[in-house]
Structure 1
Amino acid sequence: MSPRKLDKSLIRGLAIFQQMTEDDLDAVLATASVRQLPEGATAFEQGVTATEFFALLHGRLKVVQTTPDGQQVVVRHVGPGDIFGIARAMRRPDYPATATAVVESLALAWPSSQWEPFIARSPVLAMNALQTVGQRLQDAHTRIRELSTEEVERRIAHALLRLVRQAGRKTEEGILIDFPVTRQDIAEMTGTTLHTVSRVMTAWEGKGLVSSARKKVIVTDAHRLQVLAERPE
């Protein structure tokens, strides 16, 4: 699909493209290609040479890093409007993690060699990209602090609240995390085991804090979960 056939009003609605001029937007789209990612497909894999970077138009991806001892860690989730695969901005020759579509997704892709022209073309785009990288770094620091200082139950509560902020949708039952997420995913986000997450989630279900089924999590009492997340050790 040619990028010229994309509806620019939809593209402009994504945070990274907001406030760009028509000429700058046209220039950025001229070197882009459209990438369809069926559920389960990877945009890139850890350790592979970084040949492209991306902006997600629709869907949701999870970024997973495998440690040297084989442990999988969910680093973050990618939502519509996010840029990802920006190894070039980190001065890396390869991708540090694997990005996999958790639902059918659609992205724009650019050659990695276009990263410098990409941000040089538009100061607004450069600022948006810098804010994205800065927020990602801040999130990483927050997770490191949680892993280092917090008990498991608080880490799980914080992880669910982050997912609510990223993709929460109000329903009659509560706030649905609006993409498939499993207890194993939560374990990999919080540095714990599936058994521990299952034990904690089952206890919370009994207390009316959450409701879960296969790949589906609903936070039924966000206030009580927030109180639990912030309680002193």
Structure 2
Amino acid sequence: MADDDALWQLFAATFPGLALPAHVAARLPALVPRRRLADGRSLFVQGQRTTAFYAVAAGEIETRLTGMDGTVSVIEHVGPPRLFGLAAFAAGQPAEYEAVARGASEVLVIGREAYTLLMDEAPGFARALLAEFARRYDGTLRLLQAARHQRAAERVMLALAQLARERGRAAGGGWLEVAATQTELARLAHLSRQTANELLCAAEAAGHIRRGRGRWWWRPAPGVSRA
């Protein structure tokens, strides 16, 4: 059975304003188990057909693609309480990417029975899920486009924005505090650590970020979206 708090935190963050019927809310926790993953453990691999989609309850899941030449490209670092793996599950197709735990992590497993209950008996859930899927797809598409076509500095800024969106906490004065390492940022931006460091130094000199050990602070420029 899922941890009820984690499940309801997921709904509050992902589907704000969605009110579940009482009988759905009563049945759902028993249909959403919680799975623990050790650091480096794959939840599913590229090309695997999945029987559920997932939400991060604790820790972090890295989604990544492996090319024919063995090159690994990180798509996203998914933290709580966000969803992932919906496209392959809903379409009944093999997963296009691998999902790997970064550190000890826990996920909520939303299988066919829970999905059917929500889709069939929770008015508004299908629309809310479609809207969330569209937001996730748009963000991922921008990152993939950046990785292939945009300059290194632009890729770093997009990676900064993504990490701030996923982990950022208001720190006053328009700053967001983000717990993330330079290595994570470099990997997400598809850059070497040295190149990422040079670009971060430039951003710090320009007053866009402040850096600390294992964390940094970011203040988006006017007109720059955090979404």
CA apart distance, 1:114: 5.4
Question: Which stretch shows the higher mean deviation, 103-112 or 61-70?
Answer: 103-112
Q: Secondary structure at the match of 2:48?
A: coil
CA apart distance, 1:69: 1.7
Maintained 8 Å contact 2:9/2:81:
no
Given the alignment of the two structures, is residue 202 of structure 1 paired with residue 208 of structure 2, yes or no? no
The equivalent residue for 2:62 is 62
CA apart distance, 1:82: 2.1
Q: Secondary structure at the match of 1:223?
A: coil
**Structure 1 residues 148 and 100: alpha-carbon distance in aligned structure 2, compared to 1, 3 A threshold:** closer
Distance 2:124 2:222 in 1: 39
**Structure 1 residues 122 and 188: alpha-carbon distance in aligned structure 2, compared to 1, 3 A threshold:** same
Task: Map residues 115-126 of structure 1 onto 2, 5 A cutoff.
Answer: 115-126=115-126
Distance 1:61 1:47 in 2: 18
| Number of aligned residue pairs | 221
**Structure 1 residues 177 and 103: alpha-carbon distance in aligned structure 2, compared to 1, 3 A threshold:** farther
Task: Supply the AA of the counterpart residue of 2:4.
Answer: L
CA apart distance, 1:61: 2.1
Task: Supply the AA of the counterpart residue of 2:128.
Answer: N
Task: Supply the AA of the counterpart residue of 1:210.
Answer: I
Distance 2:42 2:50 in 1: 13
1:6 aligned residue (4, 7, 28): 4
CA apart distance, 1:68: 1.6
Q: Secondary structure at the match of 1:64?
A: strand
Maintained 8 Å contact 1:209/1:224:
no
Distance 1:110 1:224 in 2: 38
**Structure 1 residues 19 and 196: alpha-carbon distance in aligned structure 2, compared to 1, 3 A threshold:** same
Given the alignment of the two structures, is residue 108 of structure 1 paired with residue 94 of structure 2, yes or no? no
Distance 1:141 1:187 in 2: 18
Task: Map residues 31-180 of structure 1 onto 2, 5 A cutoff.
Answer: 31-86=31-86, 87-92=88-93, 94-112=94-112, 115-147=115-147, 149-171=149-171, 175-178=176-179, 180=180
CA apart distance, 1:62: 2.1
The equivalent residue for 1:28 is 28
Distance 2:208 2:216 in 1: 9
Task: Map residues 218-229 of structure 1 onto 2, 5 A cutoff.
Answer: 218-223=216-221
**Structure 1 residues 10 and 191: alpha-carbon distance in aligned structure 2, compared to 1, 3 A threshold:** closer
Identity among equivalent positions (%) equals 20
Maintained 8 Å contact 2:51/2:112:
yes
**Structure 1 residues 146 and 127: alpha-carbon distance in aligned structure 2, compared to 1, 3 A threshold:** same
The C-alpha deviation readout for 1:18-77, integer Å capped at 9, x for no partner, is 421221123333322111234444332223331332122333322112122222222123
Q: Secondary structure at the match of 1:123?
A: coil
Distance 2:21 2:216 in 1: 40
**Structure 1 residues 128 and 53: alpha-carbon distance in aligned structure 2, compared to 1, 3 A threshold:** same
The equivalent residue for 1:231 is none
| TM-score normalised to structure 2 length | 0.77
Q: Is there any run of 5+ residues in structure 1 with no aligned partner, and where?
A: 228-233
Distance 2:181 2:204 in 1: 16
